[in-house]
Chain A
């Protein structure tokens, strides 16, 4: 059938746009002259979305691009490959569509793609279907006709296959377009669907593949549908509510979804390590240096609260889970909780080097992680959502027979950096040092044992790390199941430290009837972490503290025959003895169980009503038992005469939550897809943490009862939240326009008024422009508005009396921090807008988002003049604003026929904050070591995270900004190179601009000149003493090679020869590395550090940290 060159094939697309008053421009080129078509050439057609009828596509922009060809007697398939490379298009066709043995010859300069295809496919009896995004599908001539008068209940069968391998794809969703009727493919990719009378197309979706729409042809009952791999992850399901999702193509917010492969590119201590560099808008930092067992902080779109919790909300399979950081009680030994007044506080401290509990998840169980970055996306989660929501979905069962995946990894964590500490190669050099620093020659002579390298000796734990994962998934008797077990061990770089973890998971979905299914997800994790004693301490036992006062020439590893350790003559501790004998086990037992019941109350052709009940419990037990025996030097020399310390803390943190959701969907093909949802959510969180510190222990007994002085600390809190929500989601205009509106009403017992509901609305819209340029496949505009909150911490509404014993009697005194019985949540309002552009026939995607997040009604601990008898009071007031931009570009710059492909991903994130107003005088906030080193300071007109010295005043009498805890920007660069069976992946993570406070240098500088550059030490100390407030403020910028992987998929011919090899369907060998290289100007071990753990503002403080580590792993992954 001859084409009509003047026809406008995309008129059907324009219709919707014109309805909205949106103009569509052409590619900017002059219209090509009509293509002269030979009689036997292909017909170019598209499918009208509303009717499914063929429409002329001969003038599609993709066909107007020009190429040059020099083909001589090549097979048609090869000719198409050549054309595809030049035109940056992909052809999809089933085997047998092209005439066998046919060859073509064509030499032409600058002809249109339409002309080239016409010549190459002359008399090939094929037509070309042009999709809206520019995909070209070759079909047999005349095979696609509009379906008419199909009999109600007619059935079609078919198979969904991978377009490259032609292997069947299981669990692909096959849906009759415009209806709720559909099914999932079987293990071999087959499907059967009953068609309504007016069915016109099938839509097929599968995670990891580009969705495809296939027209139904009259009389045809069997279809083979080939799906292209979604290498750029263009199509994913994005959460829009407690029980609703939408395709990422329609999402109205900046979407960050990380899939299982991305999570597990490189073995990581915790899930959050795996996310570094992969979420534009998130700053993900390690807070415990290289300590085993993790310890990370995720901050999304800047500081979201000054005083309340700023951790994102974590939701795993619909269950809100615990990401608390429970201090281990190590302070009972390190005594860092005491103020410099000498008041001793032995209870748990933020400086205990503790880990946040999302570390308990097994990364290998994760199917995907979606990050909702702010109120505009997460308002549905109410007052727990202003810092973002991290939604984790674990793996489901797959259709068909059991599939096993076995993964084994062996590797090692090693020290990534050392400080330039002075060495003493000769006795004379040691004596010279002694004479400079006032140490007697006799002491030097008696202790000199040749040059030592304490860092290497302490941080060279030779243990291997390993990990074994086994999982099986499948379907049996209407039950889809996924079962996994994990056993792993990560060695710490410090002697006698490490992280041991075992976990198991069962996910099962039972289909009771067509309308009723239930899913149960259960996981149990047990871990034993030994982090040792590092970081800040007031006993001298921390290794880098020891290095600051002990010259490297004493043989402190020496033990006598009876096991006694050598006494350090230069200070109060021998860290070799400490690391050998101090015990810091932290044992976690955690059960997360949840499930949901999905009941399709009814399903009609165009509408359905579902009730979804979701609930779960997260029960975490953390037991810390820190022990420093009395024989250790720093304990024996304990000036208070209480040698030997044992702490025992048993923390129980329990979360319970459930929701009841009603979801109604209504679909009219090409007109509307409406999803209405409403629900009720209830959550209870409890924590109980008794901590016992025993001192003056019996020798050899690690028990609180073995001490003569016992101190008890106790924390207990509880919160209960209720929320109601309603949401409407509309997809209109051939799925081009998506509009969502909703509101959540929430109340919590943490508020002053526990009966008052606070309302959190959200609205969003996205519009996918029709193709208007040949190189653009899709251009989406989106905008979203939302409000969320940050609820007060437990107890803020109370003013508890302090209690203290004196003479055996308990006394009470008012608290210095006064509660507020009217306290209410912080209110966050966020507006974001952006674009998502898919280009070059799905070979590149660009996203840009700008946002403004205004946080009002801040939960402030207002400082008052302490002469009022209290020094702080809780109240609501003031506001600050975050504005930022997030960019991401993913592209396939090279994709060759020989199997070589290169995928590059770049992200950029910049956030700018400003304090708009506060109803109190400017004030210091957060943790610090005193104003000499800088404080976070809240004052109007300045960054919320600025760093000042309150003694350094500008001309206007306010403190001068000396730095900022937040970075100027964060970028990442990911590269994936694939060539046949080989794959190379790399990820660079770049942070620029934050300030890090280097207290480690300060402590070295005031010691006996033990850094190599003693002149620099002395200069810094002198400057500091003379009032220079900046020698310990350093740039915290860094560039790190976060991930590097080289993997090789063994050919079956190889692994089938191995024992049991015949049972395996796949085998991959990988060599991976994490944090292999780092570049920074910071003079400490690593600018990515926080002695105070997870902090809203005042991270970036460096005191004798656990040094950063790098890791290597060799992995073997088998499938059967």
Chain B
């Protein structure tokens, strides 16, 4: 402040004036010295309580958030399989990307980041578990470990199935990105993770689960193990292990060191992996050929024969992500050609005529006049894995082992008991394989397991199946590795393959 003489005035007034000036400066100084209190984050927690309640919240979150990408997973895998596809003027790329008529952008938020987040969430539960107060008993802790590892494996399976031979990282940690593994090593890791989880669940034994699981897991919520006991979580673990083992067997065969299947030859899927996969499914209480029944139009019943992602319209919950677009999921002509639309109960239970004008008429030539209508409400559950699919997986495993007859038996179990159709016969690999693919197609469309697309790759049919869509037919069956993953690795994405 400029300090200059104040001019003639009384001493008293001068003192008052200076006093006011000092007071003002003091007010400013006091104001500056008073710190505002911190502002918390108002609408969500920023830490996990180190208690059983905290673990329960984290477990519920792990299951809830593992649903996040299931709608996208189903659209990718259903489109790659050329079963049905969203045909909307508002988003024509949904058709071109998912069917392979256009290139999927690398930047698309594919099934990737949410899954790795869920892997980390599972790991966080394992990290917090030993410090929880009050402490869990050893069996209870083992049960939670088994649950967390199984869910970790499930999330990795979703990523691996959408990337196939591109390979994926299998460890989430907080420092630097882990190596990306080739497909067979990915599946080895997943199978090992499931086996580890199963061991923990078996170590826990038949105790009631110490955490509550969502309703879609009610068929596996009664106990930790063993897997053969109906209601045990280990039954779910083994069902996943059977699917993963099958994928491992073919990943080994499709590896450069293996013998590749061709459109006309079976190749050499790894027998050991297939055998273990078959045993895993057989050991799962979810597998029960005698319980195969036709679908009830409108919804999956959340019964003892399957495990489901469940949804609801309750505030804060997720609604069925396929139901939202169900009026746009036009069934493709190639799909209809594989189905007995007159008699198959699966067709009758899940499909119906499209009452609306097809959008994107440019693509009328691939669209049938029918819609997939099975998920009738926002609450409709979506299957993760269930008896019908497990039976067809066993058929696939038997086909891989060269047991055509056994394969036919399993696929006919489904065909007759679920589809209400007469059994079929076949005497050679190609015939049985194609019969299997048809059953798989109509049985498992738009479920959370991506079976037909996985099968097309296994049998090396992605380049020949349903490729009558013109010269520009990429028939992609792989989602690119997310661009951000590449950017985060400075563009380098080299596979590690042991």
Contacts and interface: CB of A to CB of B under 8 A. Distances in A.
Contact of A641 (B60, B103, B378): B378
Interface stretch (B1-9, B132-140, B273-281): B1-9
Interface stretch (A271-279, A482-490, A809-817): A809-817
A810 B24 contact: no
A804 B61 contact: yes
Contacts of B60: 806-807, 809-812
Contacts of A65: none
Given A344-B319, A611-B20, A814 B488 contact: no
Contacts of A804: 61, 64-65, 316-318
Contacts of A957: 491
Contact of B318 (A343, A716, A810, A1002): A343
Interface in A794-827: 794-795, 798-814, 816
Interface stretch (B39-47, B225-233, B435-443, B450-458): B39-47
A1025 interface: yes
A1006 B213 CA distance: 44
A340 B175 CA distance: 31
Interface stretch (B93-101, B199-207, B331-339, B341-349): B93-101
A1027 B104 CA distance: 11
Interface stretch (B118-126, B241-249, B264-272, B417-425): B118-126
Contacts of A717: 39, 42
B4 A666 contact: yes
B113 A871 contact: yes
A339 interface: yes
Contacts of B482: 866
A666 B71 CA distance: 72
Interface in A138-162: none
A51 B43 CA distance: 68
Contact of A607 (B4, B119, B216, B490): B4
B368 to A, nearest CB: 13
A375 B472 CA distance: 54
Contacts of B428: none
A712 B313 CA distance: 11
A724 interface: yes
Interface string A887-931: 000000000000000000000000000000000011110000011
A109 to B, nearest CB: 56
Contact of A724 (B28, B74, B103, B319): B28
Contact of A801 (B61, B116, B314): B61
Contact of A799 (B6, B46, B107, B491): B46
Nearest to B169: A867
Contacts of A540: 88-90
Contact of B214 (A638, A712, A806, A816): A806
B321 A811 contact: no
B75 interface: yes
Contacts of B447: none
A720 interface: yes
Contacts of A601: 17, 20-21, 24
B89 A549 contact: yes
Contacts of A951: 103, 105-107
Interface stretch (A465-473, A673-681, A1108-1116): A673-681
B2 A813 contact: no
Nearest to A865: B488
B130 interface: no
Interface in B1-58: 1-2, 4, 6-7, 9, 13, 17, 20-21, 24-25, 27-29, 31-32, 34-39, 41-48, 56-58
A438 B364 contact: yes
B172 interface: yes
B2 A808 contact: no
B90 A341 contact: no
A662 B36 CA distance: 23
B438 to A, nearest CB: 26
A641 B377 contact: yes
A938 B436 CA distance: 50
Contact of A678 (B28, B38, B94, B112): B28
B214 A814 contact: no
Interface string A625-669: 000000000000111111000000000000000001010101000
A261 interface: no
B426 interface: no
B113 A339 contact: no
Nearest to A730: B2
A868 B491 contact: no
Contacts of A935: 107
Nearest to B98: A340
A813 B67 CA distance: 12
A755 B105 CA distance: 45
Contacts of A642: 313, 378
Contacts of A806: 60, 63-64, 67, 214, 310, 317-318
B28 A869 contact: no
B314 A863 contact: no
A339 B101 contact: no
Given A637-B327, A714-B43, A865 B173 contact: no
A715 interface: yes
B236 interface: no
Contact of A813 (B20, B105, B118): B118
B489 A811 contact: no
Nearest to B177: A865
A163 interface: no
Nearest to A341: B72
Contact of A749 (B36, B71, B73, B89): B36
A718 B41 CA distance: 9
A806 B174 CA distance: 27
A1025 B99 CA distance: 13
Interface in A396-441: 437-439
A1003 interface: yes
A718 B39 contact: yes
Contact of B323 (A639, A720, A728): A639
A711 B44 contact: no
A868 B173 contact: yes
Contacts of B119: 869
Nearest to B314: A805
Contacts of A538: 88, 90-91
Given A708-B313, A715-B43, A868-B174, A640 B483 contact: no
B270 to A, nearest CB: 26
Interface stretch (A523-531, A566-574, A780-788, A966-974): A566-574
A564 interface: no
Interface in A1035-1078: none
A206 to B, nearest CB: 28
B117 A870 contact: yes
B328 A639 contact: yes
B117 to A, nearest CB: 5
Contact of B317 (A569, A745, A805, A924): A805
Nearest to A436: B361
A864 to B, nearest CB: 5
Interface in A1085-1120: none
20 contacts: A339-B109, A341-B75, A342-B321, A343-B318, A545-B89, A607-B2, A609-B17, A639-B325, A641-B378, A660-B28, A718-B42, A805-B317, A806-B67, A807-B312, A811-B64, A866-B113, A867-B168, A921-B490, A930-B108, A1007-B362
Interface of B: 1-2, 4, 6-7, 9, 13, 17, 20-21, 24-25, 27-29, 31-32, 34-39, 41-48, 56-65, 67-69, 71-75, 88-94, 96, 101-103, 105-109, 112-114, 116-121, 123-124, 168-169, 171-178, 212-216, 310, 312-328, 356-362, 364-365, 376-378, 472, 482-485, 487-491
Kindly list the 10 A-B residue pairs having the minimum CB-CB distance in the complex, ordered from nearest: A341-B72, A865-B488, A869-B120, A811-B61, A342-B71, A811-B60, A709-B313, A639-B327, A1006-B92, A866-B113
Given A642-B378, A808-B314, A921-B490, 9 more contacts: A540-B90, A572-B327, A637-B327, A710-B315, A714-B43, A720-B39, A804-B317, A866-B488, A1026-B472
